[in-house]
């Protein structure tokens, strides 16, 4: 076989191998690229990329069937997301809090942050403002959060407890969040729209939730 003929044969074989690999991906459903919303342990992300991934996770949580239970050691079901709500059974027993039956807005925010840069005791809403140092920003009507930040409320009758929510968009005075342990049945992942300069609570102005005092927001670490 002459040298030109041998080279042509090798090139043809390489092309056929590439076509076969593409066909195999099409049959098996193997994606051509990896899920870019999952941070690897060694990935070095820019702050903007980190925020984009947090937002992508939060939006996906609204539409993703999620495991939950109705009793602590009972059958595991998958939720059926509908629109802006993803109801997880009504018992605080779901994959975000490891089915432990406790309030889980902090667990949800931690999952959206890919469990990176969290305060110790992130299951407590209070720790999202007291355990993050300079990353917590007390409410100021002139300073709005950015997508990826976490809004923080405390309970009006007990400031040790509260609620947190992940910011997914900010347009003018409207802050859109995706948050856990709220919404229909009080046990859902839900999209909400908050007004940044709301003064329903005159002592603690800002995004309003019943029986809660808005404190500010925390930025990713």
**Res 158: pLDDT:** 95
Beta bridge partners of 188: 87, 182
Mind listing the pLDDT tens digit for each residue in 28-57? 333 333 334 566 655 689 999 999 999 999
Burial class, 192, CB count within 10 angstroms (exposed 0-12 / middle 13-18 / buried 19+): middle
Give the β-pairing of 212-218 and 136-138.
antiparallel
**Res 33: pLDDT:** 30
How long a stretch of residues is the chain? Answer: 221
Distances (CA, A) of 157 to 19, 25, 119, 130, 160: 65, 56, 23, 18, 9
DSSP state of 118: P
**Res 44: pLDDT:** 84
Closest CA to 156 of 75, 97, 77, 214: 214
Q: Output the DSSP codes for 153-166.
A: EEETTEEEEEEEEE
**Res 34: pLDDT:** 31
Q: What is the pTM of this model?
A: 0.82
Mind listing the pLDDT tens digit for each residue in 59-96? 999 999 999 999 999 999 999 999 999 999 999 999 99
Mind listing the pLDDT tens digit for each residue in 89-145? 999 999 999 999 999 999 999 999 999 999 999 999 999 999 999 999 999 999 999
Q: Calculate mean pLDDT across residues 199-219.
A: 98
Mind listing the pLDDT tens digit for each residue in 200-209? 999 999 999 9
**Res 135: pLDDT:** 98
- pLDDT of 183 strictly over 50: yes
Two structure tokens written together for 194: 């908050």
Distances (CA, A) of 31 to 43, 61, 64, 221: 20, 20, 18, 31
């Amino acid at each position: 076989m002459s040298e030109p003929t041998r080279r042509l044969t090798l090139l043809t074989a390489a092309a056929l191998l590439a076509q076969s690999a593409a066909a195999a991906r099409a049959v098996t459903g193997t994606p051509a690229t990896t899920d870019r919303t999952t941070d690897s342990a060694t990935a070095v992300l820019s702050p903007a990329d980190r925020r984009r991934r947090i937002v992508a996770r939060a939006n996906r949580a609204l539409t993703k069937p999620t495991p939950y239970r109705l009793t602590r050691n009972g059958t595991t079901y998958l939720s059926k997301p509908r629109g802006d709500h993803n109801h997880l059974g009504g018992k605080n027993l779901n994959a975000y809090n490891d089915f432990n039956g406790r309030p889980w807005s902090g667990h949800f925010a931690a999952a959206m942050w890919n469990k990176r840069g969290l305060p110790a005791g992130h299951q407590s809403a209070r720790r999202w403002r007291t355990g993050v140092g300079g990353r917590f920003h007390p409410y100021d009507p002139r300073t709005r959060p950015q997508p990826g930040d976490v809004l923080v409320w405390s309970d009006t009758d007990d400031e040790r407890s509260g609620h947190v929510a992940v910011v997914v968009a900010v347009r003018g005075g409207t802050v859109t969040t995706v948050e856990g342990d709220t919404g229909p049945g009080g046990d859902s992942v839900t999209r909400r729209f908050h007004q940044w300069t709301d003064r329903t609570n005159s002592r603690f102005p800002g995004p309003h939730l019943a029986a809660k005092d808005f404190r500010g927001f925390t930025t990713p670490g």
